[in-house]
């Protein structure tokens, strides 16, 4: 039995290391098994370099048809699990066909790599970046080793950031105006606004502000939409009166937000909404929803 197991065991161990791994920022990503893994973070147009080490099992040699490393950007839709769409694919040949008798190290470098999309792990879609080493073998399965890394791209402060002004109304019963100071928010921002009650003839029990994420994948009849409520913030508990105003101040830092993603490689979108919910004393619910734009702002080091 041990002989049979050994026949399928890889003849070598493969290790992939990044050149600046110790000094580079690490972020957590979620793996298929639900566990989190700390990986280095890069941004578009950075150089990705490092080393690949191949260590044969003691006493064995590795006959191969070549060693290569690929940098891949991939999108996986969960209803097509296991099928990856490659939007970035770069290859470096590390060695031509030959034999490896002892541990061997190969340097690699991908210069100023264009990585236009951020890493994302959603409900129905995953966008990931990996380094993939393949050792081709003539009469056996190739040896493959992958290493994940994360991409985060930053956006400067928008030059135009208009406020949001909207009205909620039920004829002759309710008239509310709400105003938010801006329509674009970075991931550590604060939502600041005010809600004005101009007409109140129904008994409002409470009012909440929700942050919702809507993820859509696919297109046409094959579109999948998932809406997730990320935060609920109680604005008011009790009945408002005409002329009253309620301040809004919601900090975004505690929530796991991503930037807004629009038409990523024609595969998916991720949008965010502020959803105002009013509940009357008969538990009827009234909604008003407004899309906001999320972006990642470059973090400034603490002095």
Model confidence pLDDT, tens digit, residues 216-272: 998 778 789 999 999 998 887 766 777 788 899 999 999 999 999 999 999 999 999
Q: Name every residue whose Cβ is closer than 8 Å to that of residue 253 and which is 6 or more positions away in sequence.
A: 187, 188
pLDDT at 90: 98
Q: What percent of the chain has pLDDT over 70?
A: 95
3-state DSSP call for residue 139?
coil
Model confidence pLDDT, tens digit, residues 100-135: 999 999 999 999 999 999 999 999 999 999 999 999
For residues 204 and 90, give the distance between their C-alpha atoms in angstroms, rounded to a whole number: 59
pLDDT at 2: 42
Model confidence pLDDT, tens digit, residues 139-177: 889 999 999 999 999 999 999 999 999 887 777 777 888
pLDDT at 9: 78
Q: Burial, 272: exposed, middle or buried (Cβ in 10 Å; 0-12, 13-18, 19+)?
A: buried
The beta-carbon contacts of 168-174 under 8 Å, at least 24 apart in sequence, are: 168/276, 168/278, 168/286, 168/288, 169/199, 170/202, 170/286, 172/199, 172/201, 173/199, 173/201, 173/202, 174/199, 174/200, 174/201, 174/202, 174/204, 174/278, 174/286
pLDDT at 81: 78
Please give the domain boundaries of the chain with CATH numbers for all domains.
Answer: 12-151 (2.60.40.640), 164-295 (2.60.40.640)
For residues 293 and 189, give the distance between their C-alpha atoms in angstroms, rounded to a whole number: 12
Q: Which two tokens stand for residue 128?
A: 């990931």
Q: What percent of the chain has pLDDT over 90?
A: 67
């Amino acid at each position: 039995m041990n002989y049979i197991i050994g026949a399928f065991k890889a003849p070598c161990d493969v290790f992939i290391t990044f050149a600046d791994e110790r000094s580079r920022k690490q972020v957590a990503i979620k793996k298929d098994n639900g566990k989190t893994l700390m990986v280095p973070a890069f941004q578009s147009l950075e150089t990705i370099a490092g080393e690949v080490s191949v260590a044969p099992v003691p006493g064995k040699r590795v006959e191969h048809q070549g060693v290569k490393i690929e940098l891949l950007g991939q999108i996986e839709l969960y209803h097509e699990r296991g099928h990856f769409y490659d939007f970035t694919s770069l290859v470096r040949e590390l060695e031509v066909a030959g034999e490896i008798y002892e541990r061997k190290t190969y340097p690699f470098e991908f210069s100023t790599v264009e990585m236009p999309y951020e890493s994302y792990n959603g409900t129905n879609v995953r966008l990931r970046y990996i380094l993939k080493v393949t050792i081709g073998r003539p009469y056996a399965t190739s040896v493959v080793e992958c290493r994940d890394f994360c991409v985060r791209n930053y956006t400067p402060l928008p030059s135009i950031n208009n406020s949001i002004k909207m009205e909620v109304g039920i004829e002759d019963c309710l008239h509310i105006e709400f105003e938010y100071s801006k329509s674009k928010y970075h991931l550590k921002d604060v939502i600041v606004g005010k809600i004005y009650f101009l007409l109140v003839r129904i008994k409002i029990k409470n009012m909440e502000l929700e942050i919702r994420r809507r993820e859509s994948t696919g297109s046409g009849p094959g579109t999948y939409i998932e809406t997730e409520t990320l935060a609920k913030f109680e604005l008011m508990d009790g009945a408002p009166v005409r002329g009253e105003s309620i301040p809004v101040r919601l900090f975004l830092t505690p929530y796991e937000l991503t930037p807004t993603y629009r038409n990523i490689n024609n595969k998916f979108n991720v949008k965010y909404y502020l959803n105002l919910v009013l509940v009357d004393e008969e538990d009827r619910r009234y909604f008003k929803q407004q899309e906001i734009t999320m972006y990642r702002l470059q973090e400034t080091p603490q002095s």
